[in-house]
């Protein structure tokens, strides 16, 4: 089938099976365009918890589809590409987190949503890059174990000095590759053009940026700004949304390294097969699901 036929079949099957297609901002343009909702981790989590669809086709990576299943346990959640994973989520497991907790008694465990269900189950609350500051400020505990992203943990720590935040040693391999000298080079060639970066970047990059925020916050900043050009320091997939929403503005990627290959694995053919065959379903251990749901639900309640 050609691309138009595949899109028509996807739309037909979606109606026939009462399915909802969710896509992260980092997905390829074709996937974003056929999705019912495109957003960041927080927005996708909310949609997963609110939907009355029978099937959720999650165009993202494994931990995202897993979170959708936890929030909608009675729905069939399908990840179109089974090996679309997240290296950062794999940098800590439940056993490592239990040991981390034993080393630091009387600390609250805040878990970035980019993590496995088992790690979420060992945590007190989940956060995303868009709500981490708000949620951590609201916690009574002064001592916070933050897993798994050291860069987001450090970003939050600098902005909430009254909290002792102890980050795990994980990182996003895509954002972590960006170097501060790339900002220096861009400044040299692009003058006063604003540089917007994700807090998963290195502190040395974050400190030199004009704005730091999640994908949804970057999108919101651009929409409100009167500027006509921007340097974007997060995964390149966001450029599609930015250009669609702001056709008279120009966007440049901060670094050629800002490509998440796991996010780029999903194709239209994969989505079609997911709807047609309903295979590659996401399942979570019931006991783990109950505990992880508590941490995710608390996040949604505090957001």
pLDDT band at 288 (very low <50, low <70, confident <90, very high): very high
Q: Angle 235-241-246 (CA atoms, 0-180°, nearest 5)?
A: 125
CA distances from 278 to 23, 67, 79, 282, 301 (A): 17, 18, 10, 11, 31
Question: For 262, phi and psi rounded to 5 degrees?
Answer: -65, -40
- 277 and 235 share a domain? no
Residues whose CB falls within 8 Å of the CB of residue 2, separated by 6 or more in sequence, listed in order = none
- Please check whether residues 76 and 142 belong to one and the same domain: no
Query: Which whole number is the average pLDDT over 220-225?
Result: 98
Looking at residue 30, its pLDDT comes to 97
Residues 296 and 247 in one domain: no
Asked if 175 contacts 150 with a C-beta cutoff of 8 angstroms, the reply is no
Residue 247 has a pLDDT of 97
Average pLDDT, the chain: 96
How confident is the model at residue 45, as a pLDDT? Answer: 85
Q: Is residue 258 part of a domain?
A: no
Q: Do 59 and 190 fall into the same domain?
A: no
Clarify whether residues 165 and 298 are in a common domain: yes
Give residue-wise pLDDT tens across range 148-163: 999 999 999 999 999 9
One domain for residues 195 and 148: no
- Identify whether 275 is part of a domain: yes
pLDDT of residue 103: 93
Indicate which CATH number applies to the domain containing 211.
3.40.50.10800
Return all residues near 207 (Cβ < 8 A) that are at least 6 apart. 180
> Out of 4-8, 188-192, 297-301, which region has the weakest mean confidence (pLDDT)?
188-192
The percent of residues above 70 in pLDDT, for the chain, comes to 100
Neighbours of 225 (CB within 10 A): 14
* 1 band by pLDDT with thresholds 50, 70 and 90: confident
- Do 31 and 69 lie in one domain? The reply is yes
**Where do we find the tokens 């028509």?**
8
Q: What is the number of other CB atoms lying within 10 angstroms of the CB of residue 203?
A: 15
| Same-domain status, 93 and 71 | no
Question: With the CA atoms of 235, 241, 243 and 247 taken in that order, what torsion angle do they form, in degrees rounded to the nearest 10?
Answer: -160
Assigned token pair, 75: 């729905």
In a domain, 244, yes or no: yes
Number of domains comprising the chain: 3
Same domain, 11 and 70: yes
Residue 43 within a domain: yes
For residue 26, tell me if it sits in a domain.
yes
Q: What is the pLDDT of residues 21-70, one digit of tens each?
A: 999 999 999 999 999 999 998 889 889 889 999 999 999 999 999 999 99
The confidence score (pLDDT) of residue 65 equals: 95
Which band of pLDDT confidence, cut at 50, 70 and 90, is reported for residue 190?
confident
% of residues, the chain, pLDDT over 90: 94
**In this structure, are 209 and 139 located in the same domain?**
no
Q: Tens digits of per-residue pLDDT, 89-139?
A: 999 999 999 999 999 988 899 999 999 999 999 999 999 999 999 999 999
Residue 155 lies in a domain: yes
Coil/strand/helix, residue 17: coil
User: Mean pLDDT, to the nearest integer, of 240-245?
Assistant: 97
Count of CA atoms in the C-beta half-sphere (13 A) of 215: 23
Reported pTM: 0.94
Average pLDDT over residues 281-293: 96
Q: Same structural domain for residues 24 and 95?
A: no
- Structural domain boundaries enclosing 74: 3-84+263-283
Indicate whether 39 and 113 sit together in one domain.
no
Asked if residue 212 is part of any domain, the answer here is: yes
Residue 166 has pLDDT above 90, yes or no: yes
How far is it, in rounded angstroms, from Cα 7 to Cα 19? 14
């Amino acid at each position: 089938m050609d691309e138009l036929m595949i899109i028509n079949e996807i739309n037909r099957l979606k109606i026939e099976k009462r399915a909802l297609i969710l896509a992260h901002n980092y997905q390829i343009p074709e996937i974003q365009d056929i999705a019912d909702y495109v957003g960041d981790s927080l927005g996708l989590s909310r949609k997963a918890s609110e939907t009355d669809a029978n099937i959720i086709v999650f165009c993202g990576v494994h931990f995202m589809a897993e979170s959708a299943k936890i929030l909608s346990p009675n729905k069939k959640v399908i990840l179109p590409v089974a090996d679309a994973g997240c290296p950062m989520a794999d940098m800590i497991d439940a056993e490592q987190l239990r040991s981390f907790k034993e080393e630091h008694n009387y600390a609250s465990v805040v878990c970035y949503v980019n993590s496995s269900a088992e790690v979420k189950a060992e945590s007190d609350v989940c956060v995303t890059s868009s709500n981490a500051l708000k949620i951590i400020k609201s916690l009574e505990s002064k001592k916070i174990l933050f897993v798994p992203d050291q860069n987001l943990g450090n970003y939050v720590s600098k902005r909430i000095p009254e909290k002792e935040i102890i980050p795990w040693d994980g990182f996003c391999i895509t954002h972590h590759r960006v170097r501060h000298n790339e900002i220096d080079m861009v400044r040299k060639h692009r003058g006063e053009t604003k540089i917007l970066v994700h807090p998963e970047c290195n502190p040395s990059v974050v400190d030199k940026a004009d704005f730091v925020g999640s994908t949804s916050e970057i999108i919101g900043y651009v929409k409100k700004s009167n500027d006509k050009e921007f340097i974007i320091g997060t995964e390149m997939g966001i450029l599609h949304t930015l250009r669609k929403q702001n056709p008279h503005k120009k966007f440049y990627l901060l670094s050629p390294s800002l490509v998440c290959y796991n996010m780029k694995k999903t194709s239209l053919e994969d989505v079609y097969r997911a709807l047609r065959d309903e295979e590659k379903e996401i399942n979570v251990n019931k006991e783990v699901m109950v505990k992880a749901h508590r941490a995710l639900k608390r996040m949604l309640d505090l957001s």
